């Protein structure tokens, strides 16, 4: 049986055109970009052309784009730089952030005594902007606000312009984890009040192991990784040439096809929502799924019983790939911090499955999955 892949928020398949763009740098164009001879010059040119492509698409200057190993490194770089270089003594974040953010801020809180506060979130998973302003106004300490653009589990989109304006008002540094939106959402960073954002190539049909960090030109920070002078002395280590080329090509294709892909994938999400409502008694959904939400993600709750508790395990047996807010693949519940934050009774009442879509999915696949869910439950 052919596998059905509904976990595109975790990673996406590499686009064939992206692989074609990468192949020369996996074979003949193997030079180290730091070398002065021709092999090095041609790979250096590839890196800088990729940087220009990414910067143009995101509405930034090439000098504000740095290549990293992925979203996690970029988040760590931004958060640590805000503390170590920009003088932040306090961090405001939310309980819904990716662990790349949460574990980093918790580490800084424990190791350096940095004040750490969490903004309130509504039951539908949105940030309480009034509470954010209340927190910002409550202290004169220089503050880092780190809030993700779109939640990777429930899909909610945060108004980063509104957050950025509040940060400007209170002289706070603003980092947004945009891993789920770079490649899926149009950006104009010069018109966005944000100090740092990050992206990961494998979220939009690019290669794994390559990401970016945008650092607003007004901020001067120290390298997070020490060593050589790569990335204009900002990120040591020989450049991942084929990854960088692949990232830029994938972002180029995602931007070119954005409107068509968004309309198609949004149609899939809405179709699955309707089919689940029509066929599974008691199903419900997390987040602002019909409002300000990422078109690629649908988080569904299935009433908990002895059959649904093993839902992910049984989907896997049937060659269906999805992920859970409350996973039971080994027979033991593993709670999602996101689902628990918006519904403290989540583990008692239901089992959560996140379905996330790409342009490669079809309505026929959705019909198959819903039919299989009926059998399982």
Is 54 inside a domain boundary? yes
Is 1 inside a domain boundary? no
Predicted pLDDT of residue 285: 96
Say yes or no: 301 and 355 in one domain: yes
Say yes or no: 130 and 214 in one domain: yes
CB-based contacts of 33-39 (< 8 A; 24+ apart in sequence): 33/230, 33/238, 33/239, 33/241, 34/228, 34/229, 34/230, 34/238
Is 235 inside a domain boundary? yes
Say yes or no: 37 and 158 in one domain: yes
Residues 6+ apart with CB under 8 A from 12: 202, 203, 204, 205, 206, 358
Nearest partner of 61 among 219, 208, 178, judged by Cα: 219
Domain count, the chain: 2
- The number of helices, as runs of H, and strands, as runs of E, in the chain is 13, 13
Say yes or no: 111 and 137 in one domain: yes
Q: Which domain holds residue 353?
A: 257-376
Pick the last residue of a domain from 219, 241, 256.
256
Is 126 inside a domain boundary? yes
Predicted pLDDT of residue 308: 76
321 is catalytic: no
Predicted pLDDT of residue 329: 34
Q: What is the CATH number of the domain that holds 28?
A: 3.40.640.10
pTM: 0.95
Predicted pLDDT of residue 330: 37
Say yes or no: 176 and 270 in one domain: no
Catalytically annotated residue among 88, 266, 321, 328: 328
Nearest partner of 114 among 135, 133, 89, 97, judged by Cα: 89
Say yes or no: 223 and 315 in one domain: no
Angle at 318 between CA 338 and CA 312, to 5 degrees: 20
Say yes or no: 189 and 239 in one domain: yes
Is residue 299 within 8 Å of 325, Cβ to Cβ?
A: yes
Which pLDDT tens digits describe the chain residue by residue (377 residues)?
699 999 999 999 999 999 999 999 999 999 999 999 999 999 999 999 999 999 999 999 999 999 999 999 999 999 999 999 999 999 999 999 999 999 999 999 999 999 999 999 999 999 999 999 999 999 999 999 999 999 999 999 999 999 999 999 999 999 999 999 999 999 999 999 999 999 999 999 999 999 999 999 999 999 999 999 999 999 999 999 999 999 999 999 999 999 999 999 999 999 999 999 999 999 999 999 999 999 999 999 999 887 778 899 999 999 999 998 533 333 444 579 999 999 887 778 889 999 999 999 999 999 999 999 999 98
Q: In sequence order, what DSSP letters do the residues of 183-242 get, joined into one string?
A: TTB---GGGS--SEEEEEGGGGTS-SS-EEEEE-TT-----SS-SS-HHHHTS-S---HH
Is 7 inside a domain boundary? no
Predicted pLDDT of residue 6: 98
Q: What is the CATH number of the domain that holds 368?
A: 3.90.1150.10
């Amino acid at each position: 049986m052919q596998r059905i892949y509904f976990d595109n928020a975790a990673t996406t398949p590499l686009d064939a055109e992206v692989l074609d763009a990468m192949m020369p740098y996996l074979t003949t164009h193997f030079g180290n970009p730091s070398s002065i001879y021709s092999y090095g010059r041609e790979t250096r040119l590839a890196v800088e052309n990729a940087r220009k492509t990414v910067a143009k698409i995101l509405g930034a200057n090439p000098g504000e784009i740095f290549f990293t190993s992925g979203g996690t490194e970029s988040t760590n770089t931004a958060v640590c730089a805000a503390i170590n270089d920009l003088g932040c003594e306090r961090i405001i974040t939310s309980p819904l952030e990716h662990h790349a953010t949460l574990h980093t801020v918790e580490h800084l809180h424990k190791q350096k005594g940095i004040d750490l506060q969490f903004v309130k979130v509504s039951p539908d998973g949105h940030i309480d902007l009034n509470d954010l302003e209340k927190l910002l106004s409550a202290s004169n300490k220089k503050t880092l606000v780190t809030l993700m653009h779109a939640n990777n589990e429930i899909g909610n989109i945060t108004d980063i312009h509104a957050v950025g304006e509040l940060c400007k008002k209170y002289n706070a540094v603003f980092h947004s984890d945009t891993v789920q939106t770079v490649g899926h959402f149009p950006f104009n960073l010069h018109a966005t009040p944000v100090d740092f954002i990050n992206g990961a190539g494998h979220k939009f049909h690019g290669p794994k192991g390559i990401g970016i960090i945008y650092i607003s030109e007004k901020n001067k920070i120290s390298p997070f990784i020490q060593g050589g002078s790569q990335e204009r002395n900002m990120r040591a280590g020989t450049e991942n040439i084929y990854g960088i080329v692949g990232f830029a090509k994938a972002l180029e294709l995602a931007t070119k096809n954005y409107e068509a892909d968004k309309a198609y994938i949004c149609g899939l999400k809405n179709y699955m929502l309707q089919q689940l409502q029509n066929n599974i008694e008691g199903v419900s959904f997390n987040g602002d799924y019909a409002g300000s939400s990422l078109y690629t993600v649908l988080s569904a709750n299935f009433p908990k019983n002895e059959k649904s508790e093993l839902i992910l395990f049984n989907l896997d047996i049937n060659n269906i790939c999805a992920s859970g807010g409350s996973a039971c693949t080994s027979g033991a519940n593993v709670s999602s911090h996101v689902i628990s934050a918006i519904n403290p009774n989540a583990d008692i009442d239901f089992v959560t499955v996140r379905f996330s879509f790409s342009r490669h999915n079809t309505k026929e696949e959705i019909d198959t999955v819903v039919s299989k869910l009926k059998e399982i439950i």
